[in-house]
Amino acid sequence: MCGIVGYIGWREALPILLQGLKRLEYRGYDSAGLALLNGSIISVIKQKGSVSGLEAATVTLPEEMRNATIGIGHTRWATHGEPSDQNAHPFLNASRDIALIHNGIVENFSSLKQELISQGYIFLSETDSEVLVHLIDRIWKSDSRLDLESATRNALRHVDGAYGICVISSREPDKIIIARKGSPLVIGIGTGEYFIASDAAPIVEHTNKVVYLSDGELAVVTRDGYTVKSIENIEQAKIVTELDYSLDKIEKGGFEHFMLKEIFEQPEVMKNVMRGRVNPEKGLIHLGGISEYLDRLKQAKHIVICACGTSWHAALIGKYLIEEFARIKVEVDYASEFRYRNPIVGVDDVVILISQSGETADTLAALHVAKEKGALVMGICNVVGSTIARETLCGMYTHAGPEIGVASTKAFTAQVVMLYMLALSLSKGRTISHDEIALHLRELSCLPEKASRILELDGQIKGIAERFRDANNALYLGRGYNFPVALEGALKLKEISYIHAEGYPAAEMKHGPIALIDKDMPVIFIATHDSTYAKILSNIEEVRSRKGRVIAIANVGDGEVSRLTEDVIFIPSSSAPLSPLLTVIPLQLLAYHSATLRGCNVDRPRNLAKSVTVE
Summarize pLDDT for 34-74 with one digit per residue, the tens: 999 998 999 999 999 888 889 899 998 999 899 999 999 99
- Among 247, 240, 242, which residue's Cα sits nearest to residue 225? 240
Q: Is 611 among the domain residues? A: no
Those residues whose C-beta lies under 8 Å from the C-beta of residue 102, and which sit 6 or more positions away, are 2, 74, 89, 91, 129, 132, 163, 164, 165
Q: Is 614 among the domain residues? A: no
Q: Is 613 among the domain residues? A: no
236 with 350, same domain?
Answer: no
| Single residue among 243, 276, 309 that ends a domain in this structure | 243
Name the band, by pLDDT with cuts 50, 70 and 90, for residue 610.
low
CATH code, 326: 3.40.50.10490
Question: What span, in angstroms and rounded, lies between the C-alpha atoms of 555 and 381?
Answer: 31
10 with 147, same domain?
Answer: yes
Which H or E run includes 491? Answer: helix 483-497
Name the band, by pLDDT with cuts 50, 70 and 90, for residue 611.
low
Question: What span, in angstroms and rounded, lies between the C-alpha atoms of 378 and 375?
Answer: 9
353 with 493, same domain?
Answer: no
Name the band, by pLDDT with cuts 50, 70 and 90, for residue 538.
confident
Give catalytic residues, as residue numbers.
2, 610
Q: Where are the alpha helices (DSSP H) in 58-107?
A: 63-66
Q: Is the pLDDT of residue 248 over 70?
A: no
| Single residue among 204, 225, 243 that ends a domain in this structure | 243
Q: Is the pLDDT of residue 1 over 70?
A: no
CB 196 within 8 A of CB 178: yes
Question: What span, in angstroms and rounded, lies between the C-alpha atoms of 517 and 523?
Answer: 8
Q: What is the mean pLDDT of residues 102-113?
A: 90
334 with 298, same domain?
Answer: yes
328 with 187, same domain?
Answer: no
Give the rounded distance of the alpha carbon of 153 from its chain centre.
Answer: 29
Instruction: Tell me the β-bridge partners of 277.
Output: none
Question: What span, in angstroms and rounded, lies between the C-alpha atoms of 463 and 469?
Answer: 10
| Single residue among 445, 478, 495 that ends a domain in this structure | 445
236 with 337, same domain?
Answer: no
Question: What span, in angstroms and rounded, lies between the C-alpha atoms of 314 and 305?
Answer: 10
Question: What span, in angstroms and rounded, lies between the C-alpha atoms of 254 and 370?
Answer: 43
**What's residue 518's pLDDT?**
81
Cα angle value 436/400/586 (rounded, 5°): 75
CB 10 within 8 A of CB 224: no
70 with 208, same domain?
Answer: yes
Q: What is the mean pLDDT of residues 229-246?
A: 86
45 with 148, same domain?
Answer: yes
Q: Is 441 among the domain residues? A: yes
313 with 230, same domain?
Answer: no
214 with 309, same domain?
Answer: no
**What's residue 570's pLDDT?**
96
Q: What is the mean pLDDT of residues 442-465?
A: 96
Name the band, by pLDDT with cuts 50, 70 and 90, for residue 25.
confident
446 burial type by CB count under 10 A (0-12 exposed, 13-18 middle, 19+ buried): middle
Name the band, by pLDDT with cuts 50, 70 and 90, for residue 247.
low
Q: Is 261 among the domain residues? A: yes
Lowest-pLDDT range of 78-82, 117-121, 528-532:
78-82
188 with 263, same domain?
Answer: no
Mean pLDDT taken over the chain: 91
Number of domains comprising the chain: 3
Those residues whose C-beta lies under 8 Å from the C-beta of residue 390, and which sit 6 or more positions away, are 212, 214
409 with 307, same domain?
Answer: yes
**Which H, E and C letters describe 213-272, residue by residue?**
CCCCEEEEEECCEEEEEECCCCECCCCCEECCCCHHHHCCCCCCCHHHHHHHCHHHHHHH
Q: What is the pLDDT of residues 559-577, one digit of tens each?
A: 888 888 889 999 999 999 9
- Among 206, 296, 215, 260, which residue's Cα sits nearest to residue 7? 206
Q: Is 612 among the domain residues? A: no
**What's residue 186's pLDDT?**
92
Q: Is 23 among the domain residues? A: yes
Instruction: Tell me the β-bridge partners of 73.
Output: 5, 34
Q: Is the pLDDT of residue 245 over 70?
A: no
Cβ burial 142-178 (10 Å sphere, 16+ → b, else e):
eeeebebbbbbbbbbeebebbbbbbbbbbebbebbbb
**What's residue 566's pLDDT?**
83
CB 221 within 8 A of CB 194: yes
Full residue range of the structural domain in which residue 315 is found: 250-445
CB 501 within 8 A of CB 474: yes
Name the band, by pLDDT with cuts 50, 70 and 90, for residue 517.
confident
CA distance from start to end of the chain? 10
Question: What span, in angstroms and rounded, lies between the C-alpha atoms of 102 and 379?
Answer: 27
Q: Is 120 among the domain residues? A: yes
Cα angle value 576/578/582 (rounded, 5°): 105
Lowest-pLDDT range of 159-168, 203-212, 541-550:
541-550
CATH code, 104: 3.60.20.10
Alpha-carbon radius of gyration of the chain: 26
CB 483 within 8 A of CB 314: no
Share of the chain above pLDDT 70, in %: 98
